Amino acid sequence: MSVPLSTSAAVKPLLEIKNLQVGFQTQNGLVPAVNGIDITLMPGQTLAIVGESGSGKSTTAHAIINLLPGSGRITGGEVLFEGRDLTQLNEKQLEEVRGRMIGFVPQDPMANLNPVWSIGFQVEEAIRANGIATGKEVKQHAIRVLKEAGLADADKRLRQFPHQFSGGMRQRVLIGMGLSSRPKLLIADEPTSALDVTVQRVILDHLATLTREIGTAVLFITHDLGLAAERAEQLVVMYKGKVVESGPSREILENPMHPYTQRLVAAAPSLASRRIQSSQKNLTDLGYSAPRAAEGLDLVEAAAARAGKQAATPVAGGPAIKVDGLTKVYRIRGAKRDARDFKAVDDVSFTVERGTTMALVGESGSGKSTVAKLLLRLEDASEGTITIGGRDTATLRGRALLDLRRTMQPVFQDPYGSLDPLRNIGNTIAEPLQVHRVGDRASRRARVDELLDQVALPSALATRYPNELSGGQRQRVAIARALALKPEIVILDEAVSALDVLVQAQILRLLADLQAELGLTYLFITHDLAVVRVIADHVCVMQRGKIVESSTVDKVFDNPQQDYTRELLNAIPGANLKLGV
Amino acid sequence: MSSNFTGPPTDVTTVGGRSGTHYVAPLDETPLVGVDAVKVAEKRSNLWIDAWQDVRRRPMFWISAALILLVALVALFPGIFTQTPPNNNCILGNSNGGPADGHPLGFTKQGCDIYSRIVHGTSTSLSVGFIVIVLTTTLGILFGAFAGFYGGWVDAVLSRLGDIFFSIPYILAAVVIMSVLSQYRSVWSISLAIGVFAWPSTARVLRSEILRVKNADFVMASTALGLSRFKILLKHVLPNSIAPVIVITTISLAGAIVAEASLSFLGVGLGSNIMSWGNDINQAQNDLRSAPQTLILPSIALSVTVFAFISLGEVVRDALDPKARALR
Amino acid sequence: MTGYIFRRILQAIPVFMGTTFLIYFMVFAMPGDPIVALFGDKTPNPAVVAQLRAQYHLDQPFIVQYLIYLGGIFRGDFGLSFSGEPVTAILARTFPVTARLAILALLFETFFGILVGLISGLRKGKLFDASSLAVSLVLISLPIFVIAFVGQYVFGVWLGWARTTVGSGAPLQDLILPALVLASVSFAQIVRLTRASVIETSGLDFVRTAYSKGLSSRRVIPVHILRNSLIPVVTYLATDFGVLLVGATITEGIFNVPGVGNTLYQAIIRGEGPTVVSFVTVMVLIYLVVNILVDLFYGLLDPRIRYVK
């Protein structure tokens, strides 16, 4: 398989981006998104651009094939593809390049297929447009392409519509389309970030095999450093529209030079969990030290600090939460009177000790969020009991239910939906106090200031509105609101999932500090097993409504008992990286 | 398997000079900022503040606002604008006459002053408009809010009811009602006749908006706080769903004015003793060839008023709906 | 798809019952003698009054009256007009004329509305867009009878291009001006709707993906942008059909088109209450049927509805 290169100079770069500048025209003039970046990609190579949202990574990807959204335009620089500057091509010439020479796999499979046309139609039009096949061969080629992409029954599914496909299957269709004309370059823009981790793994494996066979170079855009390092030989780290560091993946991971990259390495949960794994065995041998400039963002350090504090304050009293045989059945209304029962939560039992963190891990549809709703009495259980602080919650009404709500508060996932946009921050945080008639105006205001301070936000924000804040700041406000009534239990339903890694690390750190300070009990619901390693003591793995494995975090990570747990663990990006740190 | 290339090139130094080599940008090129640092902006911002900032920069807003203010002034204080009585003192000898001293727009077929009739017709149009929107907005909010928020059978019953009213074009319904109420033709009865069938569109708009808002996490958070369902509807869901209702209300006001004029034009609207642009247009239609101004002038008054409210609605929609803003 | 059709028709039944009940209620549950009220200030022919009393079974309890009336509708019996002619006979005579006018207007407004809206949406912010927005705003602000009179005056009286009233038999060339007038308001709405829809769709991810596949804009615009933008336009056409019916009543009246609308118009002007009620009922029924048809068409346009599980 390996044919050595005769001379390195003989291989010309496939793609050379030189001093590329992209800006978006707004009311306030041209806002730059990419400020002069250089990237070189060799034929057959896989290169990943890593960055947080707003770093300019997706804009770069779109600029290559000149598909910038809205008012975006290239304001300078060159995009040399096989020596030809793509920025100088006219529309007709660009059409020749797109699809045929450069394939594109977009981010959100749900939004990238036209809902009104069948799958077959959309694949076939791509094949026809690029002149890959004509006449009756088009359909045959479409079937072949989809089969390659992993849709075994493609011939039967050509006439189906996108909404009849799952997210993973749609992404396979998009990959099939992107590769249908054997392009020399495939741009994959966060191709799996909308999918479950296990699906992500299978699809990326498949993509890697396919592109290797065809010899297609891949430009892989992702926010996940672990994923990037695992999937690409070369890494480009972008920050504020600039390349801050680039080079071979392993080297960057092991020896990040730029402080921003150091932060990213320190804060990426996938890498952190991997590092913790290795550190237990030979941390001292490796002489592990936190990357410089990590400034409290190092998750390994955070986890160690947390473990230390947790050990220092022994658990007292009975369990905070005891769930026994919890079951929730939904009636699904079918078209032909086939109303059937769907067990979203199926005989779930677990106990959360006071002052500890229990993580509930599962993929979409596993029932983990339903458990949260049942605990919070947002919905009623079909069967089973929930005991909180020694009391069965099912029978609580009125005053007693209010008391229960006072001891247990939630933080939800969507930072843009969790705060009422028309209420200022102060009123939002004070609402729990108002509802529960705690204190008077002045004391509430004092409490709001105190809470803002606890979540490290300035008290000046009290009179401001949510849309002035970033996602991470909104989540802090949500945490402050949850803490207003001094609850014992906080239910964190994917509370950090929507955040960029650095912000996520910051919030995880904040949560750990608050737990140590206030003795809180957390139920941490997440799809991301990597985060669990950093924040939790115990973990329950859920699959299709059932708990398949339940143990301490160390045991689950070091010695998983179930196939599904192993699958999840292997799906954590970076699983194949032998990270000694 | 392709033969020309198979593995990653290592240590390749090419023209770009960066492939394979470890490149680090100088720190001063992109200085690090604190993670998620809080910047307290100079100005507060929420939906309403932003909408105002947006609206005040648009000439269309000021034009329509000025027109509406003028129309409102004319409606409230017709005496400021004309001393000529609209109904009596009509001299048949002036029938369809052109402008004369003190009668800047000429005369109607009955020899009445057109300008004065237009001035005095304004309050009729506006009154009907306002009574109708009070009616449609009240009914629309009640039906839409309860149907959308409580869902289930409440929604089924209320929405079907709305469908039934929606299925009769409201002007046709008003024609029937006004035909039956021929003895009781007044501003109130005509407003009732229009409003009773015009509310479902408000209800539909609000319902779909509430369906969107009620699933937001902040609603769940309030439930978890122990706030009652009704209070959540009142304090969180309604305020966040009301913006499109304001837009549709402005446009409904224009619609109601058109409806009144149409009904009066058809002769089932207001009695001839009540000043109405629709009535005057009705009276003038047979003289289109000989005296078009008797028809055109009240039509202009009517159209300008309608235009003012519709453009205000459009401007407000642009300001309140981020999707509409993207269309500009 | 059959399941969808079946469900849609099933849903229409309570609405049909409700609307007919409502119309009946508006007339016959009002205080006083409904027959007298329907005649307004006219003195009715006693024979006609007796005939109406029998037709509407006013001696029976209200709900029985309604059921008898409903039974009549199902048998295609809408009663007699003011002059004593069966409503169905008038319909048979006038409906083809109105259908011709309405179809002509629908063709005008959809074709030109979508065309102008599409160009406007694709050239957002350009001169064409700005002017089409301005013109449509003005058109929306003009009540239909104002447009009708202006049209009559400009094209009929002033330029002399068209006849101000439609000749007997309603030849197609005479219907062009009324159809344009009838189409004008909805045309403006369709322009705005198509424009908004085109701009929104153009920004969607699947359009970018279509371009990324190497498709030209000559293919992407009709196949991906326009095709998807039509869905809200069709929805609008359904709800707007009521406006079209009201518009047809006024337009046919002003241009003296011998159609269903004109019959209603004349009845309204002359205060012939019973005829008004019958024809409003007919129009509401047409509206309901058209809405069902449009919904079925909608199912064809949007597979997500067709294949709902």
Domains of chain B: 116-327 (1.10.3720.10)
**Does position C81 have pLDDT exceeding 80, yes or no?**
no
Distance, C-alpha A67 to centroid of its chain: 25
pLDDT of residue C42: 65
pLDDT of residue A9: 52
pLDDT of residue C239: 83
Q: Residue C184 corresponds to which tokens in the numbers above?
A: 């004008």
A residues 456..495 contacting B (CB < 8 A):
457-458, 460-461, 463-470, 472-473, 478, 481
Question: Which stretches in chain A have pLDDT values below 50?
Answer: 1-7, 281-290, 580-581
Mean pLDDT for B87-91 is 75
C203 min Cα distance to partner chain A (Å): 7
* CB spacing of B19 vs A40 below 8 angstroms: yes
pLDDT of residue A287: 39
Helix (H, G, I), strand (E, B) or coil at A490: strand
Which CATH number does the domain housing residue C104 bear? Answer: 1.10.3720.10
* CB spacing of B36 vs A470 below 8 angstroms: yes
By Cβ distance, the residue of C145, C157, C280 closest to B265 is C145
Question: pLDDT confidence of C273, banded at 50, 70, 90?
Answer: confident
Q: Using one digit for the tens of pLDDT, what is the confidence trace for C222-238? A: 999 999 999 889 888 88
pLDDT of residue A217: 95
**Does position C162 have pLDDT exceeding 80, yes or no?**
no
- Taking the C-alpha atoms of residue A305 and residue A283, their distance in angstroms, rounded to an integer, is 16
* CB spacing of A116 vs C303 below 8 angstroms: yes
- For residue C291, list chain B residues with Cβ-Cβ distance below 8 A: 167
Answer for the pair A542, A262: CB distance below 8 angstroms, yes or no. Answer: no
The pair phi, psi for residue A46, each rounded to 5°, is -115, 125
* Number of neighbours of residue A384 by Cβ within 10 angstroms: 18
Using a CB–CB cutoff of 8 Å, tell me whether C5 touches chain A: no
**Domain interval for residue C217:** 96-257
Answer for the pair A372, A523: CB distance below 8 angstroms, yes or no. Answer: yes
- For residue B49, list chain A residues with Cβ-Cβ distance below 8 A: 465
Sheet of A357-361, strand order? A408-411, A489-493, A521-526, A357-361, A538-543, A546-552
- The alpha-helical segments, DSSP class H, found in chain C are 2-28, 34-39, 46-56, 62-74, 87-122, 127-141, 144-151, 172-202, 205-212, 217-220, 227-255, 260-270, 273-301, 303-306
* CB spacing of A40 vs B44 below 8 angstroms: no
Q: What percentage of chain B reaches a pLDDT higher than 90?
A: 48
Using a CB–CB cutoff of 8 Å, tell me whether B37 touches chain A: no
Please give the span between the terminal C-alpha atoms of chain B, in angstroms, as a whole number.
52
pLDDT of residue B2: 36
**Of the listed ranges A219-223, A441-445, C112-116, C242-246, the one predicted with least confidence:** C242-246
Q: Measure the CA angle with vertex B222, ends B217 and B223; round to 5°.
A: 95
The DSSP bridge partners found for residue A40 are: A16
Position C109 in a domain:
yes
Position C18 in a domain:
no
Give me the sign of the Cα torsion angle B10, B11, B13, B16: positive
Position C262 in a domain:
no
Chain A residue nearest residue C227, CA to CA: A116
- Taking the C-alpha atoms of residue C194 and residue C192, their distance in angstroms, rounded to an integer, is 6
pLDDT of residue C119: 96
Using a CB–CB cutoff of 8 Å, tell me whether C218 touches chain A: no
pLDDT of residue A286: 37
* CB spacing of C210 vs A114 below 8 angstroms: yes
Q: Which domains does chain A have, with CATH numbers?
A: 15-255 (3.40.50.300), 271-312 (no CATH), 321-571 (3.40.50.300)
Q: Give whole-number Cα distances, B243 to A142, B47, B248, B250, C292, in Å.
A: 47, 9, 9, 11, 31
pLDDT of residue B288: 80
DSSP code string of B67-129? HHHHHHHHHH-HHHH--S-SSSS--GGGTT---BTTBTT-B-TTS-BHHHHHHHHHHHHHHHH
* Number of neighbours of residue C112 by Cβ within 10 angstroms: 15
pTM: 0.88
A139 min Cα distance to partner chain C (Å): 17
Please give the span between the terminal C-alpha atoms of chain A, in angstroms, as a whole number.
31
A residues 96..125 contacting B (CB < 8 A):
none
pLDDT of residue A315: 65
* CB spacing of C200 vs B323 below 8 angstroms: yes
Mean pLDDT for B295-321 is 92
Nearest to C192 by CA among C308, C77, C109, C250: C109
C133 min Cα distance to partner chain A (Å): 20
* CB spacing of B306 vs C287 below 8 angstroms: no
Mean pLDDT for B115-140 is 93
The DSSP bridge partners found for residue A34 are: A22
Strands A217-222 and A72-81: unpaired
Mean pLDDT for B86-104 is 76
B residues 44..73 contacting C (CB < 8 A):
none
Mean pLDDT for B20-28 is 82
Answer for the pair B132, B253: CB distance below 8 angstroms, yes or no. Answer: yes
Distance, C-alpha A97 to centroid of its chain: 32
Position C270 in a domain:
no
**Does position B76 have pLDDT exceeding 90, yes or no?**
yes
**Does position C165 have pLDDT exceeding 80, yes or no?**
no
Chain B residue nearest residue C202, CA to CA: B327
A173 membership: H or E segment, kind and range: helix A167-179
By Cβ distance, the residue of C203, C206, C214 closest to A70 is C203
A residues 229..288 contacting B (CB < 8 A):
233-234, 239-240, 242-248, 251-252, 255, 257-260, 263
Q: How many domains does chain C have?
A: 1
Nearest to C251 by CA among C309, C181, C202: C181
C residues 116..135 contacting B (CB < 8 A):
124-125
> Crossing angle of helices A167-179/C205-212, nearest 10°?
30
A99 min Cα distance to partner chain B (Å): 20
Which segments of A106-216 are extended strands (E)? 185-189
Position C267 in a domain:
no
* CB spacing of C215 vs A126 below 8 angstroms: yes
3-state secondary structure A30-82: EEEEEEEEEEEECCCCEEEEECCCCCCHHHHHHHHCCCCCCCEEEEEEEEEEC
Nearest to A292 by CA among A301, A304, A280, A281: A301
* CB spacing of A174 vs C209 below 8 angstroms: yes
Answer for the pair A316, A350: CB distance below 8 angstroms, yes or no. Answer: no
Nearest to B19 by CA among C152, A248, A317, A64: A248
Distance, C-alpha A479 to centroid of its chain: 20
Chains within contact range of chain B (3+ C-beta pairs < 8 Å): A, C
Position C147 in a domain:
yes
- For residue A294, list chain B residues with Cβ-Cβ distance below 8 A: none
A430 membership: H or E segment, kind and range: helix A425-435
Please give the span between the terminal C-alpha atoms of chain C, in angstroms, as a whole number.
11
Mean pLDDT for C104-118 is 95
Position C39 in a domain:
no
Q: Whose structure tokens read 């005008």?
A: C108
Q: Residue C93 corresponds to which tokens in the numbers above?
A: 């005579």
Best mutation target, B12, B35, B242, to test chain A (most A CBs within 10 A): B35
Q: Using one digit for the tens of pLDDT, what is the confidence trace for B200-250? A: 999 999 999 999 999 999 999 999 999 999 999 999 999 999 999 999 999
By Cβ distance, the residue of A16, A246, A263 closest to B23 is A246
A218 membership: H or E segment, kind and range: strand A217-222
Position C177 in a domain:
yes
- Taking the C-alpha atoms of residue C292 and residue B167, their distance in angstroms, rounded to an integer, is 11
By Cβ distance, the residue of C37, C125, C284 closest to B167 is C284
Q: Using one digit for the tens of pLDDT, what is the confidence trace for C1-11? A: 677 788 888 88
Q: Residue A470 corresponds to which tokens in the numbers above?
A: 């970033």
By Cβ distance, the residue of A13, A424, A506 closest to B16 is A13
Using a CB–CB cutoff of 8 Å, tell me whether A400 touches chain B: no
Distance, C-alpha B278 to centroid of its chain: 21
* Number of neighbours of residue A23 by Cβ within 10 angstroms: 21
Q: Residue A324 corresponds to which tokens in the numbers above?
A: 């026994």
Mean pLDDT for C295-304 is 82
Q: Residue B175 corresponds to which tokens in the numbers above?
A: 């024609």
Using a CB–CB cutoff of 8 Å, tell me whether C309 touches chain A: yes
Question: What is the interface pTM, i.e. ipTM, of the complex?
Answer: 0.86
- Taking the C-alpha atoms of residue A33 and residue A21, their distance in angstroms, rounded to an integer, is 8
pLDDT of residue A578: 58
- The alpha-helical segments, DSSP class H, found in chain B are 47-55, 59-76, 78-81, 114-150, 152-166, 170-180, 187-198, 200-213, 217-225, 229-232, 238-241, 243-266, 277-284, 292-320, 322-325
